[in-house]
Amino acid sequence: MKVNQSYSLLGAIVISGVMGLTPLLASADEVNVYSYRKPKLIDPMFAEFTKQTGIKVNSVFAKKGMIERLQSEGVNSPADLVFTVDIGRLSDIKNAGLTQSISSKRFSNDIPDHYRDPKGHWFGLTTRARIIVASTERVKPGEIMSYEDLADPKWKGRICTRSGKHPYMVALTASMIAHHGEAGAKTWLAGLKNNLARKPQGNDRAQVKAIKEGECDVAVINHYYMAKMLKDPEQVPWAQSVNVIFPNQSGRGTHMNVSGMALTKHAPNKADAIKLMEFLASDQGQKMYVKKNGEYPVKAGIPWNDLQKSWGKFKEDNLSLAVIADNRATAIRMADQVGYNN
């Protein structure tokens, strides 16, 4: 089997349709990964794992179609692990019956309960805070402090978000359902919808750009997009036009999501795959994630990068992501019920 730089069989293969056009063969002393995470974010960790263990990591990147490919391959699938972002995608793979439960002292010791599946089907690798960003020119410090504030009529015509049915927004709404009940969450979402400056559109960075251009004053984004913008000369002015707010610090804390991993149901290289999972959850693996990706470590005690340190410590919402997963379907229906994307 030809391996590129000893850790990627096929390099990064972007499959725009159903993921299933490129064969991947199972082999001893190798781990095959199907990933929704871009190669540049994870290949450095794979390379270090291979250097230390001699176990090669073959990865295939796809934008979508992972579930369909795993279902099509069935018991003959060469995939050992799946990597993805957002609790929605992790729970979808589990609910499709495509993962298996595992037990590991490293996971139980290092990964908090609320960042892993109660039955061991998926595990968080990094965390991402769903923060509020506000114009440095048009929003005074302390003027908006919580997700609940987003529904205050004072912000009418001043808020930008991406689609209410995007997984990141769905997870936030699902958390509101858990904290406030369906009726309370629906009132909140309708209030947020009424405060939008424009029809939901674009990605998280597009919301910050809209603030810079004066189209809105407040937005909701994942924290690591700030780091990404500060590395792009064109986008630096966007990032510098906003203040970062970690919501609900006087209460439950800021809503968190994860990037995560799961062992496939028919993993042919189970033992080596678990070794890779444990490496990524180790101190070294977690430190590499912080440095390379700008996300927060899932393991406590891992040093933050300089940008994270500049924002300061914050209180995280410790609501179980399994609960958020259970509320996703209701959250999606709720977006339709309030006409969020209309």
For 177-227, the pLDDT digits (tens) are 999 999 999 999 999 999 999 999 999 999 999 999 999 999 999 999 999
Residues 219 and 320 reside in one and the same domain = yes
pLDDT at position 286 over 70:
yes
Residues 54 and 134 reside in one and the same domain = no
Provide the residue range defining the domain that includes 204. 128-255+315-337
pLDDT at position 108 over 60:
yes
pLDDT at position 132 over 50:
yes
pTM: 0.89
Look at phi and psi of residue 234 and say left if phi exceeds 0, alpha if psi is from -120 to 50, else beta: alpha
- Beta carbons within 8 Å of 285's beta carbon, 6+ residues apart: 45, 49, 279
Residues 176 and 97 reside in one and the same domain = no
Residues 280 and 146 reside in one and the same domain = no
The arithmetic mean of pLDDT across residues 223-245, rounded, is 97
Residue 82 host element (H or E): strand 81-85
Residue 24 lies in a domain: no
Residue 22 lies in a domain: no
Residues 123 and 224 reside in one and the same domain = no
Residue 9 lies in a domain: no
pLDDT for the residue 104: 85
pLDDT band at residue 25 using 50, 70 and 90 as cut-offs: low
The arithmetic mean of pLDDT across residues 247-260, rounded, is 97
Residue 154 lies in a domain: yes
pLDDT at position 5 over 60:
no
pLDDT at position 160 over 90:
yes
Q: What percent of the chain has pLDDT over 70?
A: 92
In 3-state terms the chain splits into helix, strand, coil percentages (rounded to 5) of 40, 15, 40
Number of domains in the chain: 2
CA 40/CA 18 separation, integer angstroms? 22
Tokens of 108: 């139980």
Residues 156 and 240 reside in one and the same domain = yes
Tokens of 21: 């056009």
pLDDT band at residue 2 using 50, 70 and 90 as cut-offs: very low
Residue 342 lies in a domain: no
Residues 102 and 191 reside in one and the same domain = no
Residue 188's domain is classified under what CATH number?
3.40.190.10
pLDDT for the residue 16: 34
**Residue of 103, 108, 104, 83 whose CA lies nearest to 258:** 83
User: For 294-333, how does the pLDDT look when each residue is reduced to its tens digit (9 = 90+)?
Assistant: 899 999 999 999 999 999 999 999 999 999 999 999 999 9
pLDDT for the residue 3: 37
pLDDT for the residue 7: 39
242 in helix, strand or coil?
A: strand
CA 15/CA 63 separation, integer angstroms? 6
pLDDT band at residue 241 using 50, 70 and 90 as cut-offs: very high
pLDDT for the residue 28: 61
22 against 308, higher pLDDT: 308
Residues 205 and 141 reside in one and the same domain = yes
Residue 194 lies in a domain: yes
Residue 310 lies in a domain: no
Residues 136 and 251 reside in one and the same domain = yes
Residues 107 and 174 reside in one and the same domain = no
- Beta carbons within 8 Å of 329's beta carbon, 6+ residues apart: none
Residue 52 lies in a domain: yes
CA 29/CA 26 separation, integer angstroms? 10
Residues 100 and 149 reside in one and the same domain = no
pLDDT at position 73 over 60:
yes
Residues 155 and 237 reside in one and the same domain = yes
pLDDT for the residue 38: 83
